[in-house]
């Protein structure tokens, strides 16, 4: 074949291939064989091409290669279109809005715990954790509990295998002594966690609940630092109008000790059934770390001082969300949990 005839044939084949159609995969295969197999039209053209003198080869080579690529692409695209169409199941309506997947929600106690952590972390506190199965030293002795303190009694504390040395922690204050034993001041920690007490389960008491403890030990830490921290916490947690009041109290591990009330966030302090018409509700215990506790944990009480505070997460959650019955927190009733869907 002359090279002029070849150019004509290349052009004709190009228009022919461009117009190709196939209604099934077998048709596509027939077309592939017709044009691209060893004896196919394009391969035959390549055989003719090899006979041409070099100057003509230069002229024909490029369009011939382009034709081959064009045919390959065309046949592949015919195949892909048919395969795609094959996979579509007509019984499925792809335009329909999908069914909503039910998302879980965070547990209200986690929501509140995270908020407490976030407020204290803005003041530079970092999280510390300790074991729930504890020993007497960390829960009681190091924290200045007298040998005959009622909390050491079976009535109040769960002991493991009746061994008076191993018990379930009754408060997260145990993490204080664990951290102080290992770290020299400055210490600024917050300890969230679960605690256990031997109580009959009712709407108002449970055998386990959650606490967050905070501890700050450094040189020259004063009660004024504690008060400022408490006021900041109360306003961040319950709103900028919140007032606080401190009442003298007693804890073995703090001296002086206090309990903090906030102005009732339900009635704004006017008095309602929630605050028993006093306008105030109690939310936490606090005080200056007793020098005996610092010394027991290896921190020199002549050089350092500190404050500590501890609060119940259930109590704070009740105040924020008015949960009337403590048992709701552990029953995992979906209707209750779903009420907190929008809370983070």
**CB of 342 vs ligand DAH, minimal distance in Å:** 31
Residue number, 269 or 285, with CB nearest to ligand DAH: 285
Please give the angle made by the CA atoms of 285, 131 and 284, to the nearest 5 degrees. 10
**CB of 129 vs ligand DAH, minimal distance in Å:** 16
Residue number, 78 or 283, with CB nearest to ligand DAH: 283
- DSSP-H helix ranges across the chain: 3-18, 25-36, 41-51, 54-87, 108-121, 136-139, 173-182, 223-238, 291-296, 313-321, 328-331, 334-338
Residue number, 60 or 308, with CB nearest to ligand DAH: 308
Q: Do 324 and 203 touch, CB atoms closer than 8 A? A: yes
**CB of 197 vs ligand DAH, minimal distance in Å:** 9
Residue number, 16 or 153, with CB nearest to ligand DAH: 153
**CB of 319 vs ligand DAH, minimal distance in Å:** 17
Question: Could you list the residues that contact ligand DAH (CB under 6 A)?
Answer: 171, 173, 213, 251, 254, 285-287, 308-310
**Are β-strands 187-196 and 126-127 bridged in parallel, bridged antiparallel, or unpaired?**
parallel
Residues 332, 214, 232, 229, Cα dihedral to 10°: 170
**CB of 274 vs ligand DAH, minimal distance in Å:** 21
User: Among 282, 335, 337, which residue's Cα sits nearest to residue 311?
Assistant: 282
Enumerate residues 6+ apart whose C-beta is below 8 A from 46. Answer: 64, 68
Residue number, 78 or 309, with CB nearest to ligand DAH: 309
* Residues β-bridged to residue 147: none
**CB of 334 vs ligand DAH, minimal distance in Å:** 31
Q: Do 210 and 186 touch, CB atoms closer than 8 A? A: no
Nearest position to ligand DAH, beta carbon? 310
Residue number, 223 or 274, with CB nearest to ligand DAH: 223
**CB of 299 vs ligand DAH, minimal distance in Å:** 15
Compute the distance between CA of residue 49 and CA of residue 65 in angstroms, rounded to an integer: 11
DSSP reduced 3-state for 344: coil
Query: Six-digit token pair at 255?
Result: 């001296």
User: Among 311, 144, 136, 282, which residue's Cα sits nearest to residue 215?
Assistant: 311
Enumerate residues 6+ apart whose C-beta is below 8 A from 267. Answer: 274, 275, 279
User: Among 170, 90, 95, 96, which residue's Cα sits nearest to residue 135?
Assistant: 170
Residue number, 108 or 287, with CB nearest to ligand DAH: 287
**CB of 160 vs ligand DAH, minimal distance in Å:** 19
Residue number, 242 or 257, with CB nearest to ligand DAH: 257
């Amino acid at each position: 074949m002359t090279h002029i005839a070849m150019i004509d044939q290349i052009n004709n084949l190009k228009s022919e291939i461009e117009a190709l159609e196939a209604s099934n995969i077998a048709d596509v295969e027939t077309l592939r064989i017709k044009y691209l197999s060893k004896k196919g039209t394009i391969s035959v053209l390549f055989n003719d091409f090899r006979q041409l003198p070099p100057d003509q080869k230069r002229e024909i080579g490029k369009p011939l290669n382009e034709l081959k690529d064009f045919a390959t692409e065309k046949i592949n695209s015919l195949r892909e279109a048919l395969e795609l169409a094959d996979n579509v199941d007509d019984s499925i309506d792809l335009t329909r809005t999908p069914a909503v997947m039910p998302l879980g929600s965070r547990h209200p106690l986690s929501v509140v715990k995270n908020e407490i952590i976030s407020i204290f972390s803005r003041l530079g506190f970092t999280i510390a954790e300790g074991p729930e199965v504890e020993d007497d030293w960390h829960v009681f002795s190091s924290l200045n509990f007298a040998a005959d303190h009622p909390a050491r009694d079976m009535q109040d504390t769960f002991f493991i295998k009746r061994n008076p040395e191993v018990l379930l922690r009754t408060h997260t204050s145990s993490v204080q002594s664990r951290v102080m034993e290992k770290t020299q001041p400055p210490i600024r920690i917050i300890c969230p966690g679960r605690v256990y007490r031997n109580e009959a389960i009712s709407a108002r008491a449970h055998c386990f609940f959650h606490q967050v403890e905070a501890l700050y030990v450094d040189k020259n830490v004063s009660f004024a630092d504690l008060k400022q921290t408490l006021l900041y916490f109360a306003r961040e947690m319950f709103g900028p109008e919140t007032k606080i009041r401190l009442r003298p109290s007693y804890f073995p591990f703090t001296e002086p000790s206090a309990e903090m009330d906030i102005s009732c966030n339900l009635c704004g302090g006017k008095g309602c059934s929630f605050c028993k018409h006093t306008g105030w509700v109690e939310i936490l215990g606090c005080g200056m770390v007793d020098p005996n506790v610092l010394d027991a944990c290896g921190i020199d009480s002549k050089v350092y001082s500190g404050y500590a505070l501890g609060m119940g997460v259930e109590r704070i959650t009740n105040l924020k969300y008015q949960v009337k019955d403590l048992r709701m927190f552990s029953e995992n009733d979906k209707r209750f949990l779903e009420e907190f869907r929008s809370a983070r």
